[in-house]
Amino acid sequence: MDAQLTELLTGYGDIAGIWFDGIWDRRDADWRLRRTYDLIHKLRPAAMVGNNHHMVPFAGEDFQMFEKDLPGKNTAGFNAESKIGDLPLETCETINGAWGYNSEDHNFKSTQQLIHYVAKAAGNNANFLLNIGPKPDGTIQDEFRTRLTEMGTWLSKNGESIYGTRGGPITPRPWGVTTQKGNKTYVHVLDWEDELLALPVLPKVVKKAALLGGRPVKLQSVDGGLLVHLPKADRDPIDTVVVLES
C-alpha cells in the first residue's frame, strides 16, 4: 500500500488529500498508521490526511470525519467510539442510502433535507462532504443532478452564511443552528413555526439585525437574551437566515 501511495503522490501532480476508509473491519490488526501518515506528509506536506475508522483520531491525521452523522452523534450506529477530538471536523453523507451507484435505492433525501444538513454541518463547526456515486457509464443520475442544482441555487443566494464560516456562538438547537464570520452571526431557522424565537445572551452586543439579503428584523431585549421577530410572510421555506451584526 505504501508503494501505491508513493506512486499516487508523486506521479499525478498536486494531491490535496488522502481519505482512508477502513480499520473498522479489523480493529486489532497492526495498521502501521504513523509510518503511512509520515510517508504522505513527507511526499506531500500540504496534503490533508483523514481516516474513516470511526474512532478517536490517531497521531498524524489532519481532520476527523463522521460517517452519516454530525460530529458527536451516532444515529447511524457507526460512531459509538468517535468522540470529538481537537482536529478540524468533517461529516460525510449520501443522497440516497448508498455510497456507490444502486439502481434499486430510491430513498433519496430531498433538497431541503440536504440543505438543512449543509447548515447543520456548518453550525457544528464541520465541513460537509456530500457523496456522489456515478453510474457504470460515468454519468450522474438525474435525481442527484436535480438536487445538486437546487442546492447550488440556494447556496448562490445564501452561501455567505455557509462558506468560510465557523460554528456560531449559540450551540445547535432543535430549531436550527448558528454560524459566524467576522462581526456577523448567521441564525439558521430550520424548524420553527412561531413568530418569536428566543435566543440566549450573545457574546457581543447586536447593532443590526436583518434577513440575509433582505429586510430588517425586529429584535427585543429580554431578561436572559433576545427575542427575534420572524413574521411568516418573511420566512424562507427551507432556511430563514437572520444576520446579526455586532
Residue 89: what are its φ and ψ, rounded to 5°? Answer: -110, 150
C-alpha cell at 239: 432556511
The DSSP letter of residue 57 is: P
pLDDT at residue number 101 = 96
Structural domains present in the chain: 2-161 (3.20.20.80), 166-245 (2.60.40.1180)
pLDDT at residue number 150 = 98
Single pTM value for the model: 0.93
For residue 19, give the 3-state DSSP assignment: strand
pLDDT at residue number 81 = 82
Among residues 105, 106, 24, 117, the alpha carbon closest in space to that of 69 is found at 117
Q: How far apart are CA 184 and CA 206, in angstroms?
A: 9
Among residues 52, 88, 53, 51, the alpha carbon closest in space to that of 166 is found at 88
**209: Cβ contacts below 8 Å, ≥ 6 apart:** 216, 217, 218, 219, 228, 242, 243, 244, 245
Residue 200: what are its φ and ψ, rounded to 5°? Answer: -70, 175
Q: How far apart are CA 212 and CA 210, in angstroms?
A: 6
The DSSP letter of residue 13 is: S
pLDDT at residue number 197 = 97
Mind listing the pLDDT tens digit of every residue in the chain (246 residues)? 999 999 999 999 999 999 999 898 898 899 999 999 999 999 999 999 999 999 889 999 999 999 999 999 999 888 888 889 899 999 999 999 999 999 999 999 999 999 999 999 999 999 999 999 999 999 999 999 999 999 999 999 999 999 999 999 999 999 999 999 999 999 999 999 999 999 999 999 999 999 998 899 999 999 999 999 999 999 999 999 999 999
Buried b (16+ CB within 10 A) or exposed e, 194-219: eeebebeebeeebeebebbeeeebeb
The DSSP letter of residue 153 is: H
Rg (CA), the chain: 21
Return the bridge partners of 130, or none. 93
